Structure 1
């Protein structure tokens, strides 16, 4: 069953069309990834889903409800939460206060203790540094914090924009392992990622964006061995 559906979605920046009639479906309980070159429209897609960019055409449905014109904060209330590109932590605030900010839209704030415990179980390093200001943390720790903050909203759908950007390979592996655990706990994930091999190995389903349009889609495992994908995004050669 589709949790999220984008139908003929277009997004423009002035006269420039960043997305052209894309169709993307994210089934409940799955991990779906968007891959593509810089400027392909990946981040614009995420911003459209989270309500930060208006649509010029098409519609977005979440749990069967049309949310195309719903305010961004109300999409969080519905169950869509995002860890943005560049992490976007509040540098002058502590780890604990950053996490608390992730729950701003929740009405059941009396139950936040369980969510803090859950995030600290997933990211023990955040528990160790809960009184440390976020701006003094490493890039990997800030990425963990950004994901943890998004989880504080108890999302049904977690949006991740470039979670591996600028991180050492060992930290990337650790974060992707944690994403598998988050998904196993019942959270559906849509991830934008330039590390195509990591993304495809993680994902149940994948979409390849090229210049604002869906060029290919298929299972992550199938696209991982697709000649065109290997040549363009995985540094491999097309098989003869």
Structure 2
């Protein structure tokens, strides 16, 4: 049984259908990535999984349970946490306060403290800047904070929406290494990413989304060597 399953999911914005009957499975302990151009429906898919965007049709199962109509905050309690596109850190709050917001659904103080230590191990820069306010940090540091905040919910599935967007190359490499490490520690990852080379090289499986429809799927390695994927997303002709 898949940990997360989207079955024939469609999503509309008014009369515009952004996602057209897609089906995706994410197994426990996998990194699964969605790649595609701007406007392909990747972020809409993530919002549907996190509960921010309602489905027009289809359903979403998490750990075998139908969560299609479950509120977004209750999905966090169940074990789905998202670092959104654009990072979305609380700019007037410190690093520590941002991380505490990520744990707002939890009451287990020892577990929260352990996860805070885990975040600081993954992101030593955040440990150094724990009293700095989020709005004064660089883009790369804010991305680290957004991922750290999502991890504070102790998720079973971590949703990452364009984590490398707008980052300098050295930060991109670092962020992807950390995503791999998070997965090795046991967290399942669903990743939306325009940097197809990095995403496919680290993903167990991947889907190509084009204008709201899945056009290809396979292992990360298979799609890296697919001629049409190379031409469209990897700059190889």
TM bucket normalised to smaller: over 0.9
Summarize deviations over 1:12-70 as a string: whole Å, max 9, x none: 01110001110000011000000001110000000000000000100000000000000
8 Å CA contact 2:76–2:153 kept in 1: the answer is yes
Q: What is the CA distance between 1:107 and its match in structure 2?
A: 2.8
In structure 2, what is the equivalent of residue 76 of structure 1? 76
- Which secondary structure does the structure 1 equivalent of 2:20 belong to? strand
- Which secondary structure does the structure 2 equivalent of 1:190 belong to? strand
In structure 1, what is the equivalent of residue 154 of structure 2? 154
Q: Does 1:34 align with 2:34?
A: yes
In structure 2, what is the equivalent of residue 89 of structure 1? 89
Calculate the aligned-residue CA RMSD, in Å. Answer: 0.7
8 Å CA contact 1:159–1:190 kept in 2: the answer is yes
Structure 1 segment 43-62 matched on structure 2, within 5 A: 43-62=43-62
Q: What is the CA distance between 1:108 and its match in structure 2?
A: 1.7
- Which secondary structure does the structure 2 equivalent of 1:154 belong to? coil
The list of structure 1 runs, each at least 4 consecutive aligned residues, that deviate by more than 6 angstroms after superposition, is none
In structure 2, what is the equivalent of residue 201 of structure 1? 201
- Which secondary structure does the structure 1 equivalent of 2:98 belong to? helix
In structure 2, what is the equivalent of residue 232 of structure 1? 232
> How far apart in 2 are the matches of 1:100 and 1:81?
14
> How far apart in 2 are the matches of 1:43 and 1:75?
17
Unaligned ranges ≥5, structure 2: none
Q: What is the CA distance between 1:202 and its match in structure 2?
A: 1.0
8 Å CA contact 1:2–1:27 kept in 2: the answer is yes
Q: What is the CA distance between 1:110 and its match in structure 2?
A: 4.6
8 Å CA contact 2:158–2:187 kept in 1: the answer is yes
Unaligned ranges ≥5, structure 1: none
> How far apart in 1 are the matches of 2:115 and 2:233?
37
In structure 1, what is the equivalent of residue 11 of structure 2? 11
What's the TM-score, normalizing by structure 2? 0.99
In structure 1, what is the equivalent of residue 106 of structure 2? 106
Q: Does 1:137 align with 2:137?
A: yes
What's the TM-score, normalizing by structure 1? 0.98
8 Å CA contact 1:103–1:109 kept in 2: the answer is no
Summarize deviations over 1:60-89 as a string: whole Å, max 9, x none: 000000000000000000000000000000
In structure 2, what is the equivalent of residue 171 of structure 1? 171
Q: What is the CA distance between 1:109 and its match in structure 2?
A: 3.4
8 Å CA contact 1:158–1:187 kept in 2: the answer is yes
